[in-house]
A and B are shown apart, each in its own frame.
Chain A
Amino acid sequence: MDRIPILKLGDALLVTIQVDMHDRLAMALEEDLTAKIAATHARGVLIDISALEIVDSFIGRMLDNIAAVSRVLDAETVVVGMRPAVAITLVELGLSLAGVKTALNVERGMTLIEDRIHADAVDRGDLDDRPDE
């Protein structure tokens, strides 16, 4: 069975879904991702769904689950690149993915995660202040 690759980018994990999601694949992704977050101590998970044309309630719930699991493991989930049709479908299904952060594209999603990692670093006292403030 094919699996969706999970790439490590600094303190973040990058998942790009390029194929049509079926339920088995989604469950495998959830499992792999959880294991990978724990193994790499990642602080952020970026899921790019710009290639996904169809998202059903199962995939929607899976995204919610991944976000919840990541939160428990102290990583933030950002879903990026959702298509308008997919967004409308999810809203009509009543899935507003309240626990998930969203961004328009990978670049902005990455900025969100970096901001958080940076803020944590400031909190820990590793850095004095943010450079742009």
Chain B
Amino acid sequence: MPNNDKSLADLLATHEHEILQEWQGLLKASGALQTGRIKESELATQCRNFISQLRGALRPDGSLDKSSDGYASLKSMLGEVSRSRAIQGFTPSETASFVFSLKQPLFNAIDKGTRAADAKASYIWQTSLLVDELGLYTIEAYAKTREDIIARQTREIAELSTPVVKLWEGVLALPVIGTLDSERTQTVMENLLQSIVEQSAEIAIIDITGVPTVDTLTAQHLLKTVAAARLMGADCIISGIRPQIAQTMVHLGVELNVVSKANLADAFALALHRLKKAIVSVKQAPSGRQSRYVSPEDRGV
């Protein structure tokens, strides 16, 4: 390598301005700003920071110094950029092209700043390796962020899909939607027990209309919930077992040993009966209502 040629880090320092201009031009041309998710000034800052961090992370021979502080801060900066892009809804290739589009400007700078052909080839090879590595890291950080988002959404869905509804004074309903796995059961159980305490409920109706399949494991989870509710002093009724599921359960030999009703309405009627309440029709509806709730005490029974 001829001595009059500069090192890669020096090249970067000398041609920083041109590289930046060209890089931003390329990014703009590739449509990074088109969707309006990121401002031009923001992009410019990201590019500037990236180049200065990159200079700090380079060894004199042009390879990345993985033990340096510069490398660590370069990675954290890159991670931050991919995280924000993942959240803003950029596609993986859009995110990766932030780094990969730096290749062209770097090659041009090397071309201008180096005379010897062998030095040029070696610099281009090193730059290529360097940009590839950083690009891969970007994708990794992007995927990680997406996984975090998915995990959070899963948690939110699990929480949203297990509401506890108060049907009547002392009667709670728990419509279960989706598969009952161990983790869901835990959430369902906690929600139900907490509501039993808060509402002083005597009867809880677990409606499994929204549960697609009931196997032995699901049945076991249901039974656990029922047992826990019983320990708190509340009776459970299971409703909404669909005909096919009932057949499958019998074929599998799954037994629930709990009062079960075909639908929520029947279960609610049973709950009212246990509470010694009834819904009766009113012959003359004074205010346009068809029926009115009357408890046996009110009727003087």
When distances are taken between beta carbons in the complex, the residues of chain A under 8 Å from B232 are 82, 84, 87, 102, 104
Which of B55-63, B84-92, B129-137, B190-198 makes up part of the contact surface?
Answer: B190-198
When distances are taken between beta carbons in the complex, the residues of chain A under 8 Å from B200 are 104-105
Would you call the interface of chain B mostly helix, strand, loop, or mixed? helix
What is the minimal beta-carbon distance from B298 to any residue of chain A, in angstroms? 13
The answer, yes or no, to whether B273 is at the interface (CB within 8 Å) is: no
By the criterion CB–CB under 8 Å, are A87 and B202 in contact? no
Contact with A along B218-237 (1 / 0, CB 8 A): 00000010011111111000
Tell me how many residues of A have a C-beta within 8 Å of chain B: 20
Which of A3-11, A37-45, A90-98, A120-128 makes up part of the contact surface?
Answer: A90-98
Number of A-B pairs, beta carbon distance below 8 Å: 55
Q: How large, as a class, is the contact surface on chain B?
A: 20 to 34
The answer, yes or no, to whether A19 is at the interface (CB within 8 Å) is: no
Whole-angstrom CA separation of A3 from B65 in the bound complex: 70
For the A-B complex with A87-B193, A104-B232, A108-B233 known, give 20 more contacts whose Cβ atoms are closer than 8 Å. Answer: A79-B231, A84-B232, A86-B231, A87-B229, A87-B231, A87-B232, A88-B186, A88-B190, A88-B193, A88-B228, A90-B228, A91-B224, A91-B228, A91-B231, A96-B227, A102-B230, A102-B232, A104-B196, A104-B197, A108-B202
What residues make up the interface of B, taking CB atoms closer than 8 Å to A? 186, 189-190, 193-194, 196-197, 200-202, 224, 227-234, 276
What residues make up the interface of A, taking CB atoms closer than 8 Å to B? 79-80, 82-84, 86-88, 90-92, 96-97, 102-105, 108-109, 132
What would be 20 A-B contacts, judged by CB atoms less than 8 Å apart?
A80-B233, A82-B231, A82-B233, A84-B194, A84-B196, A86-B231, A87-B228, A87-B229, A88-B228, A90-B231, A91-B189, A91-B228, A91-B231, A96-B231, A102-B233, A104-B196, A104-B201, A104-B202, A108-B202, A109-B233
